[in-house]
Chain A
Amino acid sequence: MHEHDVLVIGGGGAGLRAAIAAQEEGADVAIVTKLHPVRSHTGAAEGGINAAIREGDSWDLHAYDTMKGSDYLGDAPAIETLAQDSPEETIQLEHWGMPFSREDDGTVSQRPFGGLSFPRTTYAGAETGHHLLHTMYEQVVKRGIQVYDEWYVSELAVTDEDDPSERTCHGVVGYDIKTGQVEGFKARNGVILATGGLGQVYDHTTNAVANTGDGAAMAYRAGVPLEDMEFIQFHPTTLPSTGVLISEGVRGEGGILYNAEGERFMFEYGYANNDGELASRDVVSRAELTEINEGRGVEDEYVYLDMRHLGEERITDRLENILHLARDFEGVDGLEEPMPVKPGQHYAMGGIETNEHGQTCIDGLYAAGECACVSVHGSNRLGGNALPELIVFGARAGRHAAGTDLGEPEIATGRDEEFEREDGLDTPVDPGAVGGASDAVADGGERTDGSRSSSDARSDGGTAVASADDVVQRAVENQRTRIDRLLNEDSGVQQAELREKLQKSMTQNVNVFRNEEGLKTALEDIREVRERYEDVYVDDPSRTFNTDLIHTIEMQNLLDLAEAITLGALARDEFRGAHWRQEHQERKDDEWLKHTMLAWNDGSPELYYKPVILEGEEDTYEPKVRSY
């Protein structure tokens, strides 16, 4: 069994920042990650980092823009923490050598981004994420932080008290992809989940193949509620054939959107009379799809993004990477012709419920970055706010897990008796584990008779508390049994077929435009795939680099998260931010200024609601009509 003070799961931006912070506080920290850190999808982020570092700008303007962008569903303490900490974190990156773009006087460059009242998006060409990721990995190397790369974490080692808020996380189970060994990792202080996005729930996404929401799904099954999962960001400018992202920086620099008739539709059809192309992402995505649905799209599929008028010099200086992407992945020369774009899944606003220190309701379990929901982004994330989230909340989680006192959190986690319950949701099928609730706390629903369930830990001697080692060891045994079963089974259904069915249904039914019928269809499809997943098997019997096995385990995570997204979307009968409902065309502040919370409840998911915190440090944010 490996043992460290702090274990960071995931080697992207949030994970690396957390590890550096924990190490600086003196902790023995290790990163356990299914990809080598430099392969993480943070590297694909293009646009930039919002940080109020200039004269005329201030953290409270950044906070205000973020709250408005969230459509008043972000929590003020989280948003203000982001806006306050981002300048220092951004400058810290510069001091670690990050190659930011520069002004004539040698200061770092900033540019306008959608929904911002000041051009505060700090950038490094159109490859900001790549530089951020590599800069932080370099610092990890400098500090000699141990990295277990190509180790896939498949279960959290958590005690199994009835009330999730009384549980403790003691570590994780890792699967060494290269050798097939299953081993326990014990964390003396804490486990920080930094596993990134869940875009593989959809079939047209900017996300990497590795973005399967592993951390969020594991935390959910271990008892941490998922928050605001229905809010999925669809980025307005992705390449139609692959989903590759074309940065908002193109519009930030002056790029223009046209429909098939050559009309600048953001203005011509009144989608955003002030900000036009630089309205918030949800607004622009809906505008594009409306154009396409009304017959003004190109080939009924996409619209044009034109940057030719910016001139070769400016494009090469600030957006060179976009030229490469358009050429390599769509065969288009951005200097000579407009680029075809359409909305694609990009980001999950929701995730693992945490407070502003990254803590979940389970003692010793933290989350940061896209897998977490603090909540900064509420119902819609502004461009340029994901990277500061990684570094701000990654650093905070790392410090707290290493034992630093960050003060009393203002955001509460876990379920309160007084929270409103959802009992009226009409679902066509029962959600949750096949076979309904079980007393299994841990992962996968894969337990066989031969394995000892972690509930044995509780029953052993009644009041006796299982030792941390026992909790980890039992989780290890559980995963060994699960993996042996998947490998030894030689008939059944394979994950590729199930994944395709799930992704297609989610893209069809739980996309930018949603209605009750589609959402219910999605729940039925998810149920069907869930039931078929019971018979899943892995064709490849090898213990060596078995990607078939990894994809099969990931599939369970995709299922649980797809269901969470769809349940939230069905429950929320209003239109807020990225969540649009055909039958409910207005934002309902009287009813819906609250977070959608979903508890796994040992296999029978339960929805409840938690109030939004709009009281800031100085003022209370008053919900206003959101127009751009």
Chain B
Amino acid sequence: MSTQIQEESEEATETETETAPVERESPGDRRREAKRTASDQRVASEPVGEIEGDTFRLKVFRYDPEVEGKMEPRFDDFTVPREKGMTVLDALIYARDHYDTTLTFRHSCRQAVCGSDAFFINGRQRLGCQTQISDLDGPVRVEPLPHQDVVKDLVVDMEHFYDQMHAVEPFFQGDTPDGDLEEQRQSRENREKIKMSTRCIWCGACMSSCNIAAGDNEYLGPAAINKAYRFAMDDREEDELKEHRMKILDQEHGVWRCQTQFSCTNVCPKDIPLTEHIQELKREAVKQNLKFW
């Protein structure tokens, strides 16, 4: 399924976490009881999502293809205590550990380098760990990345993204050392030129924000083109290889698909000037083509 279908019907499908009757009291029952109380409290809490004050409302997209009650996508609301410096990821972890351990999302490093936790937060692609609650207008609404298949809750299928990344031959093809321990030289300027492009963390935010990629499944997309830029502009690779790389980019679903809407650049959590890189490659492609005339 995809978030696309979902968005129209989302208000209608908002539900509370289901609570089954219990027969005997076990630690699990007590915990569920606590969860139920917490869930009652969050119903009783303020109608509008105040981001000021002690708590705020976190609305999270829920879906599981095999669990009853979750097969129909819905949004769950959680009331989360506000803490100084709290990020969206912190809030999700709080909701999971205190209300509902089935709440599912990828996360690992907590410091914007593993690229696992790109979500659609209040209508924009952002990293959960890098987004301060205090920077958002509440209620905080977290959805999976648009234009990607949802596996469960906030987890999307990244396979297509990885396929596009792999499609640009994303690896250095220069010589290997012959044992004489000499590094290749690279000017500071050239290193500086590729620096921003090497910061990509494969989070997929750019691809998800791109209207073209949404309409053309074969479009390489901003991340993969940026990856190609990183190698095409690296002086350590030979000129012939650069020509080869330009051929990959100068095709129907390559650089020419980009309509310079800057959505990718706007959402990139590492501030990579993706659109500029794509534009520069278009100019390179034109130059290459002129050369062969």
Interface residues of A (CB under 8 A from B): 35-36, 38-41, 43-44, 53, 87-88, 91-92, 94-97, 99-108, 125, 127, 130-131, 134-135, 138-139, 141-142, 178, 208-210, 241-245, 324-325, 328-331, 490-494, 496, 500, 535, 537-548
Within the complex, which residue of A92, A108, A541 is in contact with B67, where a contact is CB–CB below 8 Å? A541
Whole-angstrom distance between the alpha carbons of A496 and B96 in the complex?
9
Number of A-B contacts (CB under 8 A): 181
Q: Are B108 and A88 in contact (CB under 8 A)?
A: no
Q: A130-B113, A138-B170, A241-B85 are in contact. List 17 more A-B contacts (CB 8 A).
A: A35-B114, A36-B202, A39-B109, A41-B108, A41-B114, A43-B109, A92-B177, A134-B198, A141-B166, A141-B170, A178-B151, A244-B110, A244-B111, A496-B101, A539-B28, A542-B152, A544-B152
A-B contact pairs, 5 of them (CB 8 A): A39-B116, A96-B172, A97-B236, A97-B237, A105-B185
Asked if residues A88 and B109 are in contact (CB atoms below 8 Å), the reply is no
Q: Mark B107-130, 1 if CB is under 8 A from A, else 0.
A: 111111111100000000000001
Task: Establish whether residues B113 and A108, one from each chain, have CB atoms under 8 Å apart when the complex forms.
Answer: no
- The docked-state distance in angstroms from the alpha carbon of A131 to that of B198 is 8
Contact B130 A328 (CB under 8 A): yes
Q: Are A544 and B64 in contact (CB under 8 A)?
A: yes
Within 8 A of A (CB), among B140-198: 151-153, 155, 158, 162, 166, 169-177, 179, 181-188, 191, 194-195, 198
**Would you call B114 and A494 a contact (CB within 8 A)?**
no
Closest 10 CB pairs of A and B: A97-B172, A491-B28, A106-B185, A540-B102, A142-B171, A138-B171, A491-B26, A496-B97, A208-B108, A39-B114
Count, chain B residues at interface, CB 8 A: 67
A551 to B245, CA, bound (A): 42
Q: Is B65 positioned at the interface, with any CB of A under 8 Å from its CB?
A: yes
- A127, B199: Cβ atoms closer than 8 Å: yes
- Roughly how many angstroms separate A573 CA and B172 CA in the complex, as a whole number? 51
Cα distance, A503 to B102, chains bound together (Å): 22
**Chain A residue contacts of B26, Cβ below 8 A:** 491-492
Question: In the complex the two chains form, what is the Cα distance from A101 to B155 in whole Å?
Answer: 36
Nearest B residue to A330 via CB reads B85
Q: Kindly state whether residue B201 has any CB partner on chain A within 8 Å.
A: yes
Q: Which B residues fall within an 8 A CB radius of A?
A: 26-29, 31, 64-67, 84-85, 96-97, 100-102, 104-116, 130, 132, 151-153, 155, 158, 162, 166, 169-177, 179, 181-188, 191, 194-195, 198-199, 201-202, 231, 234, 236-237
Q: Which residues of B contact A538 (CB under 8 A)?
A: 101
Residue of A nearest to B178 (CB): A95
Shortest distance from the beta carbon of B154 to any chain A beta carbon, whole Å: 10
Please state if B101 and A539 are interface contacts (CB–CB under 8 Å): yes
Asked if A102 meets B97 with Cβ closer than 8 Å, knowing A35-B108, A537-B28, A542-B102, the reply is no
Name B227's closest neighbour in chain A (CB-CB): A138
Q: Are the CB atoms of B27 and A535 closer together than 8 Å?
A: yes
Given A38-B202, A537-B28, A548-B102, verify A242-B108 contact (CB < 8 Å).
no
| Nearest CB of B to A406, in Å | 17
Say whether A492 contacts B28, CB under 8 Å: yes
Q: Is the CB of A99 within 8 A of B66?
A: no
B185 touches A107 (CB 8 A): yes
B27 touching A492 by the CB < 8 A rule?
Answer: yes
A95 contacts B175, C-beta separation under 8 Å = yes
Given A134-B198, A539-B102: A494 touches B31 (CB 8 Å cut-off): yes
**Smallest distance from the beta carbon of A130 to chain B beta carbons, Å?**
6
Task: Determine the residue in chain A with the shortest Cβ distance to B188.
Answer: A102
Q: Which residues of A contact B108 (CB under 8 A)?
A: 35, 39, 41, 208-210
How many Å from the CB of B159 to the closest CB on chain A?
Answer: 10
Chain A residue numbers with a CB within 8 Å of B111 are 44, 242, 244-245, 325, 328-329
For the complex, give the distance between the alpha carbons of A324 and B111 in Å: 10
- On whether A36 and B171 interact (CB within 8 A), knowing A101-B191, A208-B109, the answer reads no
A209 touching B110, Cβ below 8 Å: yes
Complex Cα spacing A87 to B18, Å: 59
CB-based contact A490/B181 at 8 Å: no
A245–B102 alpha-carbon span in the complex (Å): 30
Tell me if A540 and B181 are in contact (CB < 8 A). Answer: no
On chain B, the residues within 8 Å of A134 by CB distance are 198
A39-B115, A491-B26 known; A97 and B97 CB under 8 Å?
no
How long is the Cα–Cα vector from A540 to B64 in the complex, in angstroms?
10
Nearest chain A CB to B45's CB is how many angstroms away?
A: 23
Establish whether residues B201 and A38, one from each chain, have CB atoms under 8 Å apart when the complex forms. yes
A216 to chain B minimum Cβ distance, whole angstroms, is 18
Residue from A88, A209, A492 whose CB has the most chain B CB atoms within 10 Å:
A209
